[in-house]
């Protein structure tokens, strides 16, 4: 039976934890709203870019563009998006589990895996299992910046063009709803924009390119990759906050439950001491009167 003071200490500590989780939940809610509006803002551009690219690729010869070409897979680059901070439920675990699965599959096929990790949690994970990482990016989640993303994309496109990687796969958390985020694996390189719908190639062939088809494609394709990575990062960001918010909400509920239990225990213990004291006094008085 723990003493009164033990229980009291326990209650204070649980209360303090509760304060932290409540604050974190509120912060997450605010950040979630912000990052959700970010992704909503980025969506129209992204959609139109994909549309434009698919209209264009339908009209060009894919063989002549490196970024569109399928080639023998010798080295596949995995880009893993996790968060920098923990306390967000299964967010990171899900992505890393998915990554491990993809890596196993690739290794079974005898394909080399090269890794780009984004976020501290991914870095720590690969470090723990001593898996070599080609590039690590951390600490840019606070404010996702298009310029930073462009630097990442440029680096990847460069290694793709010089042949050190043959494919790029991105693993990240897809934001389905506040309650549901699922890990998603997407192949970004070689680029495969969806085929333009409802437009027969006859109409598309008429596009005039200026200055030239090659030059347009050479800027449009990297742009597309950049944009897709940017979008994945934003998506991951929203998922992180949503995941954290839910995790903190659960923590809050647990705190409440635990507090109720502890308070009951405390009151019982207090009553028990009072009863014992009373018995002592009554016993003493009786002994005196005899």
Partner 1 sequence: MADKLTLEVITPDGFTFTETVDELTAPGTVGEFGVLPGHASFITTLVSGQIIYKIGSVSKAITVESAYFQVSNDHVLILADSAELTQ
Identify which range of 106-114, 124-132, 216-224, 260-268 contacts partner 1 by CB under 8 A: 216-224
Q: Does 209 bind partner 1 (CB under 8 A)?
A: yes
Q: Does 22 bind partner 1 (CB under 8 A)?
A: no
* End-to-end CA separation in angstroms for the chain: 35
What number of chain residues touch partner 1 (CB under 8 A)? 28
In this complex, which beta carbon is closest to partner 1, that of residue 49 or of residue 269? 49
Q: Coil, strand, or helix at residue 270?
A: helix
Q: What span, in angstroms and rounded, lies between the C-alpha atoms of 253 and 15?
A: 12
Structure tokens at 267: 């009151």
Q: Does 48 bind partner 1 (CB under 8 A)?
A: yes
Spell out a b/e string for 244-254, using b for 16 or more CB atoms within 10 Å of the CB, else e.
bbbbbbebbee
Task: Map the footprint of partner 1 across residues 103-162, applying CB under 8 A.
Answer: 146
Q: Does 215 bind partner 1 (CB under 8 A)?
A: yes
> Could you tell me if 241 and 32 are in contact, meaning their C-beta atoms sit under 8 angstroms apart?
yes
Q: Does 4 bind partner 1 (CB under 8 A)?
A: no
Q: How many alpha carbons fall within 13 Å on the CB side of residue 8?
A: 5
Q: What span, in angstroms and rounded, lies between the C-alpha atoms of 230 and 167?
A: 18
In this complex, which beta carbon is closest to partner 1, that of residue 83 or of residue 228? 228
Catalytic residue selected from 60, 67, 88, 113: 88
Q: How far is the CB of 221 from partner 1 (least distance, A)?
A: 12
Cis peptide before 211 (omega within 30 of 0): yes
Checking 144-148 for CB contacts under 8 A at 24+ apart, the result is 144/38, 144/230, 144/233, 144/234, 144/237, 146/230
Identify which range of 6-14, 73-81, 171-179, 214-222 contacts partner 1 by CB under 8 A: 214-222
Q: How far is the CB of 209 from partner 1 (least distance, A)?
A: 6
Among 4, 203, 278, 279, binds partner 1 (CB under 8 A): 203
Q: How far is the CB of 13 from partner 1 (least distance, A)?
A: 44
> Could you tell me if 115 and 134 are in contact, meaning their C-beta atoms sit under 8 angstroms apart?
yes
Q: Which of 93, 78, 101, 171 is nearest to 125 (CA)?
A: 93
Q: How far is the CB of 94 from partner 1 (least distance, A)?
A: 27
Q: Which of 39, 53, 37 is nearest to 231 (CA)?
A: 39
Q: How far is the CB of 223 from partner 1 (least distance, A)?
A: 8
In this complex, which beta carbon is closest to partner 1, that of residue 124 or of residue 148? 148
Q: Does 197 bind partner 1 (CB under 8 A)?
A: no
Q: Which H helix or E strand runs over 234?
A: helix 213-289
In this complex, which beta carbon is closest to partner 1, that of residue 142 or of residue 206? 206
- Tell me whether residue 88 is one of the annotated catalytic residues: yes
Structure tokens at 65: 């563009």
Q: How far is the CB of 47 from partner 1 (least distance, A)?
A: 9
In this complex, which beta carbon is closest to partner 1, that of residue 145 or of residue 267? 145
In this complex, which beta carbon is closest to partner 1, that of residue 98 or of residue 226? 226
Q: Which of 83, 91, 75 is nearest to 117 (CA)?
A: 83
Positions annotated as catalytic residues are 88
Interface contacts to partner 1, rule CB under 8 A = 38, 40-42, 44-46, 48-49, 52, 55-56, 146, 203-204, 206-211, 215-216, 219-220, 223, 227, 230
């Amino acid at each position: 039976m723990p003493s009164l003071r033990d229980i009291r200490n326990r209650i204070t500590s649980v209360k303090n934890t509760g304060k932290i989780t409540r604050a974190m939940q509120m912060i997450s809610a605010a950040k979630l709203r912000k990052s959700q509006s970010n992704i909503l803002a980025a969506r129209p551009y992204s959609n139109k870019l994909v549309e434009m690219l698919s209209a264009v690729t339908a009209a060009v010869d894919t063989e002549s563009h490196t970024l569109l070409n399928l080639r023998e897979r010798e080295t596949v680059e995995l880009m893993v998006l996790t968060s920098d901070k923990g306390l967000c439920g299964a967010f990171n675990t899900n992505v890393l589990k998915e990554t491990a699965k993809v890596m196993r599959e690739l290794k079974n096929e005898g394909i080399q895996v090269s890794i780009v990790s984004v976020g501290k949690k991914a870095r720590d994970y690969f470090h723990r299992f001593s898996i070599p990482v080609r590039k690590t990016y951390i600490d840019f989640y606070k404010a996702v910046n298009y310029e930073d993303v462009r630097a990442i994309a440029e680096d990847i496109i460069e290694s793709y063009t010089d042949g050190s990687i043959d494919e790029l796969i991105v693993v990240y958390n897809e934001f389905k709803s506040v309650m549901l985020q699922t890990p998603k694996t997407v192949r970004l390189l070689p680029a495969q924009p969806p085929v333009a719908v409802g437009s027969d190639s006859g109409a598309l062939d008429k596009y005039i390119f200026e200055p030239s088809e090659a030059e347009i494609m050479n800027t449009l394709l990297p742009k597309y990759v950049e944009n897709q990575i940017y979008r994945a990062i934003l998506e991951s960001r929203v998922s992180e906050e949503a995941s954290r918010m839910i995790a903190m909400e659960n923590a809050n509920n647990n705190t409440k439950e635990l507090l109720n239990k502890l308070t009951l225990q405390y009151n019982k213990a207090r009553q028990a001491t009072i009863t014992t004291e009373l018995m002592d006094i009554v016993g003493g008085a009786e002994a005196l009167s005899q």
